Chains A and B, each alone.
Chain A
């Protein structure tokens, strides 16, 4: 089993849609969690950290369920500019493990 798994995608959604990404991790000792986005041929950029209490940043909401070892990202009112690959990242100690990513295409 891979350490971090994500929805395989791709997700093709119309503008304005709400889309949710799921991520599961296998190491129960994982300490911190992040969502990154990566545009084609660019480096990943931090979208948001994920806290146990859940957190929201504008149209983006991230949630963490430690018992189920599950992380989610919700994007509301999606924009064309949200098209990218979304990477779930799990950290334990100095290990920073990336999921395979889920590609999102927001269509006009």
Chain B
């Protein structure tokens, strides 16, 4: 299957700092990328849908000014957690789909963020 690379896999940062997470589709062009958050023992919660070259669509309750998403190319989307707080500590996962609809999504390896 297609490969999605997410980096970093693990990050620890101090409260108030910003963290950038990268998501790359390595062998296909992804017009749409998704960002999820998963708290322990809970399901994946969609945060936002990112389309190349346009603004991301955020889910209700997700602060767009706190979670900045950039999808500047067909192979790269970034999520920046700004002014991180301990409650932002979570597992963040991106996924990407090939151009066609009705295809499966491929996931990055996830980023475990710990804010201290």
Contact = CB atoms under 8 A, between A and B. Distances in A.
B95 A96 contact: yes
A42 B43 contact: no
A45 B107 contact: yes
A40 to B, nearest CB: 10
Interface stretch (A18-26, A55-63, A97-105): A97-105
Interface in B9-52: 32, 34, 36, 42-44, 46, 49, 51
Interface string A64-86: 00000000000000000000000
User: Do most interface residues of chain A lie in helix, strand or loop, or is the interface mixed?
Assistant: strand
A2 B107 CA distance: 23
Contacts, number: 51
Interface residues of B, number: 26
B112 interface: yes
A101 B104 contact: no
B49 A94 contact: yes
Nearest to B110: A43
B60 interface: no
Interface residues of A, number: 22
A28 interface: no
Given A32-B102, A43-B109, A46-B1, A101 B43 contact: yes
A96 B98 CA distance: 13
Contact of A49 (B34, B43, B104): B104
Contacts of A94: 32, 49, 51, 97, 101
Interface of A: 31-32, 34, 41-46, 49, 87, 89, 91, 93-101
12 contacts: A34-B104, A42-B110, A43-B109, A44-B93, A46-B106, A87-B44, A94-B49, A94-B51, A98-B43, A98-B44, A98-B46, A100-B42
